[in-house]
A and B are shown apart, each in its own frame.
Chain A
Amino acid sequence: MDLIIERLSHSYDTVNVLSDITLQVPSGQIMCVVGPSGCGKSTLLRMIGGLERPSAGHVLQGGDVPPDCLNPLTFVFQDFALLPWRSVAGNIGLVLEDHPLDAAARAARVADVLARTGLSDFAKALPRQLSGGMKQRVAIARALAVNPAVMLMDEPLSALDAQTRELLIDDLVGLWMRAPFTAVYVTHNLAEAVRLGHQIVVLSRRPGRVREVMHLRIPLDQRTLADPVLQAAQERLWALMRDEALAADQELADA
């Protein structure tokens, strides 16, 4: 499924948050959105997923949805959003319970995503027993369980330490290589963006506008930390963002 974002603008009361955003997310590709803090990138993601209404413009979905897709636009949240009173399997089952699936089909889907994310041994564990990385793996498994057309990832690795982040990037690359998914991936971490993005959108500070769209053609599984092309791309992104980030940092809230 393709996503088309057309002339999308948004303001809260008198504050312009997003201004005239036009973007396209082609099927089977990951679009990373980077920008200084407060540039409205998470707001943009919530609008793409229908959790917030834009003041102007619209988000269109085009093309077919995968046949057994239960929830075309599926979020992965920064703080995992797992129910602490449900086990790993229960948290994944939660999002299937409102759909007309019989118990066997539901159990099969849960078992399948647990296997794909390497969580099969943890099915009965409670979230409090898991590390941050494992919690986010559960959240990714939960998102995969509904077989989404587009994954909307809101800084999914920001709550994790650097080592865990590396491991999860590898996991995401592995998942994508086996079954390419469409994703919008919001992050403030440029290294994540160049590792995972087929296109990288740079937003300016508030009101967020598209400053540049960068395309990276290296296959995801060949991208390494030391790759000079990626290094150059990351430096270019930082050059684009540096002054904006500095200005955003010195802004007073509510001023």
Chain B
Amino acid sequence: MHNPPPAPVPFRGGGFRPQRLRGVGVAVFVVLILVIEWGTRAGWISNLTLPRPSDVVATLVQLWKSGLFLQHVVPSLTRLAVGSAMGVLAGVAVGVMIGLFSLARAGLVPLVAALFPIPKIALLPLFVIWFGIDEGSKYALIALGTFTPTVVATFGAVDNVDRTLVRMGQSFGLKWWSIVRKIVLPGALPGILSGLRISLSIGIILLVAAEMLGAQYGIGAYILEAGSLYDLERLFAGVVILSSLGVVVSWLIALLEKRLLVWRS
């Protein structure tokens, strides 16, 4: 009997670890847009199916030159900022209360579970009666929409704060409020911030919905008008603005995480 010659041990590790690849995301966008541009020019995508990307860009440029861009975007951003600020602040406050007090948890968790799945858009007529056709009902819609996911994310984050740290605070005789402010809230911050991503995306969706029902200016109103005229270039120009808004919001939160969570490895 003779032994087989020694062979190198085959490598079996690796993988299962996402790596950061720069430029791939941009490349996907560019390729997709180029294909659509080519298809619409060559004719195998009809003008009724998709607008030509270069026409959408031209529409956006024209929108900017006519000054209508800011006229639509500024009211939208204001509504998003005011509404989601109200919803997120109230949501964090209620979420922390649920996390800290058994009574609040017992009383409010079922209520939040009941509110969460309601399509908030369905409540818009009600909000119009309660808060008027103007900005009030739009703020309320966005606030309610961002409130529930923020509550759920916040109390989950508070629940996940390391209890040994709380025990440590108690053992050194820290005041209740100090424990909440210096141990519970910073410990819950990562979870609250990742909840914020979801809340704000929902906020953008509701912003458009609110503006489609009774607004003269705003990205939603712009899209609705374009849609009813079957003006695909303008419709897509509006969609591009919304997507960019989403990307900017996500980028802002990433920036915030980078600033506030340096202590994480």
Interface residues of A (CB under 8 A from B): 49, 51, 70-71, 73-75, 77, 79, 81, 83-86, 94-95, 97-98, 126-128, 142, 146, 152
Contact = CB atoms under 8 A, between A and B. Distances in A.
B178 to A, nearest CB: 5
Given A84-B263, A85-B186, A97 B164 contact: no
23 contacts: A49-B171, A70-B173, A74-B171, A74-B172, A75-B168, A75-B172, A77-B164, A77-B168, A79-B164, A81-B168, A83-B165, A83-B182, A83-B186, A84-B264, A85-B186, A95-B174, A97-B178, A98-B174, A98-B175, A128-B263, A128-B264, A142-B172, A146-B172
A86 B168 CA distance: 14
Given A75-B171, A81-B167, A128 B182 contact: no
A117 B262 CA distance: 26
A85 B168 contact: no
Interface of B: 162, 164-165, 167-168, 170-175, 178, 182-183, 186-187, 262-265
Nearest to A85: B263
A153 to B, nearest CB: 12
A47 to B, nearest CB: 12
Contacts of B164: 77, 79, 81
Contacts of B265: 128
Given A83-B183, A85-B263, A128-B265, A71 B178 contact: no
Interface centre among B162, B186, B263 (most CB of A within 10 A): B263
B173 A98 contact: yes
Contacts of B183: 83
A87 to B, nearest CB: 9
A218 B247 CA distance: 69
A245 B164 CA distance: 27
Contacts of A86: 263
Contacts of B173: 70-71, 98
Contacts of B168: 75, 77, 81
Interface centre among B164, B170, B171, B262 (most CB of A within 10 A): B171
Given A71-B172, A77-B168, 15 more contacts: A51-B171, A75-B172, A81-B165, A83-B182, A84-B263, A85-B187, A85-B263, A94-B174, A95-B174, A97-B182, A98-B173, A126-B262, A127-B263, A128-B265, A146-B172
Top 4 A-B pairs, shortest CB-CB distance: A81-B168, A85-B263, A95-B172, A75-B171
A137 B260 CA distance: 26
A86 to B, nearest CB: 8
A200 B31 CA distance: 74
A126 B262 CA distance: 10
Contacts of A70: 173
Contacts of A98: 173-175, 178
Contacts of A142: 172
Nearest to A143: B172
A192 to B, nearest CB: 21
A97 B165 CA distance: 16
A127 B162 CA distance: 15
Contacts of A146: 172
A81 B183 CA distance: 11
A229 to B, nearest CB: 35
Contacts of B167: 51, 77, 81
Nearest to B170: A51
B158 to A, nearest CB: 15
Contacts of B263: 84-86, 126-128
A60 B113 CA distance: 48
A81 B179 CA distance: 13
A127 B183 CA distance: 15
Interface centre among A51, A79, A94, A146 (most CB of B within 10 A): A94
A74 to B, nearest CB: 7
A93 to B, nearest CB: 10
A159 to B, nearest CB: 12
Nearest to B260: A85
Contacts of B165: 81, 83
Contacts of A95: 172, 174
Contacts of B187: 85
A49 B173 CA distance: 11
Interface centre among B162, B173, B174, B183 (most CB of A within 10 A): B173
A51 B265 CA distance: 31
